[in-house]
């Protein structure tokens, strides 16, 4: 294990311990404890200790309900973090259960029109896709897409990402025509993004995905051209490694 995460875990553990003592003496400080627990859980997850991360998130989940007026945003956040953990752990059933619970909280508390909820829907769609539940995956991608379009307008990187994900879903279901349409829309947005927002890795991935679609339609010339474009973009990245996108805030599927 890398020593910097080790020392971060050490100090986060001490903070949790202190917060436990404080909450034990004064139950009104449970909120602080929950926040410290979430920090430690996130580090445990990064460290790869999913068992401990799960226990921590689940404690946070119950603790937050002990408060007289549970903070809905915090409750939703913890559900979503726990779901994300289960997803990374390969426990799809539990991941969907907790994402669905998070969505229910959002609906009950009037938070359905937020980017957090749109992100959850995108993530949930990805899991349903991996579980071969195409119908639910498509529905959640479309709901996420609508929400991101409403929040960001038609031309944002988040909107492009959902188009990309939909393209991958259609391609996996042999619906090549719609896959092509989705990837072309993703491509148009990604090409036109301002420099600061444009991630060359995303753009190159879109070319690769599109290349796969053209290959499936039998248009080998276009397929080759797309793959060439993707290669050129990658070679121009000079060893630049994309930042990991599988963050709890936004999961974007870029696999073809």
Partner 1 sequence: MREILSIHVGQCGNQIADRFWRLILREHGLGPDGMPTGKGMTSNNSSMEVFFNKVRDGKYVPRAVLVDLEPGVIARIEGGDMSQLFDESSIVRKIPGAANNWARGYHKEGERVIDQIMNVIDAAVEKTKSLQGFLVTHSIGGGSGSGLGSLILERLRAAYPRKKIFTFSVAPSRLISDSAVEPYNAILTLQRIKDNADAAVVLDNEALFSIARGKLNRNPNYMDLNHIVALIMSSVTASLRFPGKLNTDLGEFVTNLVPFPGNHFLTASFAPMRAPGQEGQVRINFPDLARETFDEANFTAAIDWANGVYLSACALFRGDVRAKEAEENMALIRKELNFASYVPTGIKLGYAETAPEGFASSGLALVNHTGISAVFERLVTQFDIMFDNHAYTHWYEESGVSRDMMAQARETVAQLAQSYRDAS
**Contact residues for partner 1 (CB under 8 A)?**
13, 16-18, 20-21, 24-25, 37, 51-52, 54-56, 58-59, 62-63
Q: How far is CA 217 from the centre of its chain?
A: 30
Q: CB of residue 60 vs partner 1: minimum separation in angstroms?
A: 9
Nearer to partner 1 by C-beta: 34 or 162?
Answer: 34
Kindly state the tokens that stand for 131: 């579980």
Residues in the chain, total: 256
Q: CB of residue 200 vs partner 1: minimum separation in angstroms?
A: 42
Q: CB of residue 112 vs partner 1: minimum separation in angstroms?
A: 28
With tokens 């393209």, the residue in question is 167
Asked whether the beta carbons of 114 and 100 are under 8 A apart, the reply is no
Distance CA 153, CA 115 (A): 13
Task: Return the number of other C-beta atoms located less than 10 Å from residue 97's C-beta.
Answer: 15
Q: CB of residue 54 vs partner 1: minimum separation in angstroms?
A: 8
Nearer to partner 1 by C-beta: 56 or 179?
Answer: 56
Nearer to partner 1 by C-beta: 78 or 213?
Answer: 78
Tell me the CA distances in angstroms from 9 to 43, 57, 189, one per residue in order.
6, 15, 40
Nearer to partner 1 by C-beta: 101 or 136?
Answer: 101
């Amino acid at each position: 294990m890398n020593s910097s995460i080790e020392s971060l875990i050490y100090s986060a553990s001490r903070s949790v311990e202190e917060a436990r003592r404080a909450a034990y003496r004064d139950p009104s400080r449970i909120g602080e404890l929950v926040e410290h627990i979430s920090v430690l859980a996130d580090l445990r997850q990064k460290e790869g200790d999913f068992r401990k991360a799960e226990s921590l998130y689940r404690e946070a989940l119950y603790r937050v309900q002990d408060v007289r007026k549970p903070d809905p945003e915090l409750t939703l956040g913890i559900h979503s973090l726990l779901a994300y953990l289960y997803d990374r752990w390969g426990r799809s059933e539990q991941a969907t259960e907790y994402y669905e619970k998070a969505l229910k909280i959002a609906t009950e508390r009037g938070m359905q029109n937020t980017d957090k909820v749109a992100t959850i829907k995108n993530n949930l769609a990805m899991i349903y896709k991996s579980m071969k539940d195409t119908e639910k995956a498509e529905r959640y991608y479309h709901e996420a897409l609508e929400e991101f379009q409403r929040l960001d307008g038609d031309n944002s990187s988040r909107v492009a990402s959902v188009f990309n994900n939909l393209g991958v879903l259609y391609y996996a279901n042999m619906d090549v025509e719609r896959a092509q349409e989705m990837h072309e829309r993703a491509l148009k947005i990604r090409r036109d993004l301002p420099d600061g927002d444009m991630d060359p890795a995303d753009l190159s991935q879109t070319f690769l995905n599109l290349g796969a679609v053209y290959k499936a339609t039998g248009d080998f010339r276009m397929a080759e051209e797309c793959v060439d474009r993707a290669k050129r973009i990658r070679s121009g990245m000079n060893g630049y490694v994309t930042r990991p996108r599988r963050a709890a805030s936004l999961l974007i599927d870029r696999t073809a």
